Amino acid sequence: MDEKDNTYYAYLYHVNVETKEVTQWTHKKERISSPQWSTDGKYIAFLSNREEDNQVYVLSTSGGEAKKLTKVEKGISSFSWSPCGQKIWFVAPLKEGKTWNDEAEKEENKLPEAYIVDKMKYHADGVGLLPKDTYKQIGYIDIATVEITQFTEGSYNYNLQAISHDGKKLVMGVNREKNQDFSFRQPLLLVDIESKEETVLTDEEGYYGGAAFSKDDKYIAFTGSNRQYQNASHAEVFVYEVSTGSRQVLTEGIDAPVGDYSGGDIQQGASAPDIVWTDGNHLYFQLSTMGDVRLYFASLDGAVYPATAENEHIYGYDIDATGTFSLATISNAIFPGELFKQNLATGERIQLTNFNEALLNELELSEPEAIVYKGAKDWDVHGWLMKPVGYEKGKKYPLIVEIHGGPHTMYANTFFHELQLLAAKGYGVLYVNPRGSHSYSQQFVDAVRGDYGGGDYEDIMAGLDYVLAENDWIDDSRLGVTGGSYGGFMTNWIVGHTNRFKAAVTQRSISNWISFYGVSDIGYYFTEWQIGADMSDITKLWDASPLKYASNVETPLLILHSENDYRCPIEQGQQLYITLKAMGKETSFVRFPQADHNLSRVGLPNLRQTRLDQITSWFEKYI
């Protein structure tokens, strides 16, 4: 982050895993992402925004300046090296009737044009109005001639999943349904590159992706979930045998979701492969389990077991071809994260980077205590309690209850800056994973659907009762609550149903399911998935809306909302603010320009700081 420029920069570094020597390879003010080695290890390609839109650059490992390979008008979405090392496959937006070689249209003196809406999926958070007649296509560029060849076509959005090691086949995802307003699927196709003949890997309801070829190209692994529980369905690992077309589910015996579902606020742009194959047709993947994100090993004969420890968050990884060691970026509650090399047989680790060492030496952090208690229906609920920094036995301290978004995400054993900030300000912090949270059973994550403000509310309040009974340092007359997105909904719900809190801060929240249905980019289907009703049942939507209970609110409530939030549009905050203000309630409304639903994670640095200042000053004023 550069405070002067009010933006973020990401540089490319090289780490020698034997000597642990770290070398910075790029120095320009830019954001580099998706670095990939060529097969022969002589080059590394990456995406960079040094000229606004992301383009592919190639850098020789022997030195020299990076070469800009593409100059596609709307930028490159993703790319992969061809195994031959002579070309790079990519995905990029392309307007119908245009080619990637066409000159970009000049915007100067261009008159504004009306946007004609003819679909329900026409806008998206972080994007705005979706470009008309523009679709993501797959193509490749010859590195020597810089000639681009378009591989896919038509009015469909394609994504490139994987390329076989022999360079003859690829896996792509595409939904070719004409009307996709109520289509929530992504078929995966195995394509012969020369003939373009397609073989269906999966064509089921739900999202499937992250495909990877085994080292011998005999198998294709991918992850995905069906729609049995809509967006609460656990993801699994699937393996497709190319020669027979048979498919097996490797993780069906594990009642936890494949992938990383942790919430956080410091790991911008972190990404990890869905599947990594090793020799012998073994594979590795992430699993969210009991508040951890761990690496798991699997073999085709059904063996599945954890490969990394508990109480941590693996947020990036790769495995060497022999399966001897992993490289992983690892965080825990008091450790922001660094790169490690781990022997997969012995578990022995070597830390390869120390980017956060100086920072950690300056800070005093609060190490959370894991808790388990009984929530609604006598179910176990997991969470954490943090003492304030500088805690002294015998003194009383205020407590802030933090509620995550989703609801199908989770608090994890990972570093969370906002929680540490509150602890540093002298607050205890309670954060729990109520029903609806991931990393537990399918029954647990599904239980919130159709019961917003029911068992989830009971779980959170039971957690508060539990820590109050077990910790006499907490001052029960000085309690605060905050959360964002679903956590904002729950904050609104809480202050309309109890006066136990002295102050509350609601962020990017939902207050009215009736209006949310029509204004959110996901409202018309997410509302039915989560509340179990659409606009034909206004009573049910209103009963689940915190706005209905505004007259009950006696807690001073700060409302934070982003101007460009298309997920939970700002009218949700506006309605709540005006209603409370008209009723003479203690409230304040802060609007953030140039910010979307992800303000707390990737918003402009000055606005993220303002957000934290607003939260802490509100609690300081009223608690």
Catalytic residue numbers? 485, 597
CA distances from 365 to 368, 480, 600 (A): 9, 21, 20
In what side-by-side order are the strands of the sheet with 198-202? 158-163, 169-174, 188-192, 198-202
Q: Exposure pattern of 426-455 as b/e (b: 16+ CB <10 Å)? A: bbbbbbbbbbbbbbbeeebbbbbbebbbeb
SS3 of 456, please? helix
> Quick one: tokens of 382?
């997991």
Rounded (5°) CA angle 278-283-289: 145
Q: Exposure pattern of 64-75 as b/e (b: 16+ CB <10 Å)? A: eebeebbbbbbb
Asked if residues 463 and 479 have their Cβ atoms less than 8 Å apart, the reply is no
Query: What is the rounded distance in angstroms from the CA atom of residue 499 to the CA atom of residue 474?
Result: 17
Query: What is the rounded distance in angstroms from the CA atom of residue 316 to the CA atom of residue 22?
Result: 18
Of 122, 136, 204, 174, the residue nearest 523 (C-alpha)? 122
For the packed helices 605-622 and 417-424, what is the interaxial angle rounded to 10 degrees?
Answer: 40
Residue in the block written with tokens 């995550």:
404
Asked if residues 50 and 63 have their Cβ atoms less than 8 Å apart, the reply is no
Q: How many helices (H) and strands (E) does the chain have?
A: 11, 36
- DSSP structure string for 44-112: EEEEE-TTSS-EEEEEETTSSPPEE----TT---EEEE-TTSSEEEEEEEEETT--TTSPPPP-TTPPP
- Specify the pairing of strand 207-213 against strand 557-562: unpaired
> Quick one: tokens of 476?
């029960």
Query: What is the rounded distance in angstroms from the CA atom of residue 334 to the CA atom of residue 419?
Result: 11
What φ, ψ does residue 527 adopt, rounded to 5°?
Answer: -60, -45
The β-bridge partners of 34 are none
Rounded (5°) CA angle 377-367-471: 55
Of 278, 282, 276, the residue nearest 314 (C-alpha)? 276
What φ, ψ does residue 463 adopt, rounded to 5°?
Answer: -65, -40
CA distances from 289 to 258, 372, 382, 525, 595 (A): 9, 15, 11, 28, 32
Type of residue at 226: N
CA-derived radius of gyration, the chain: 25
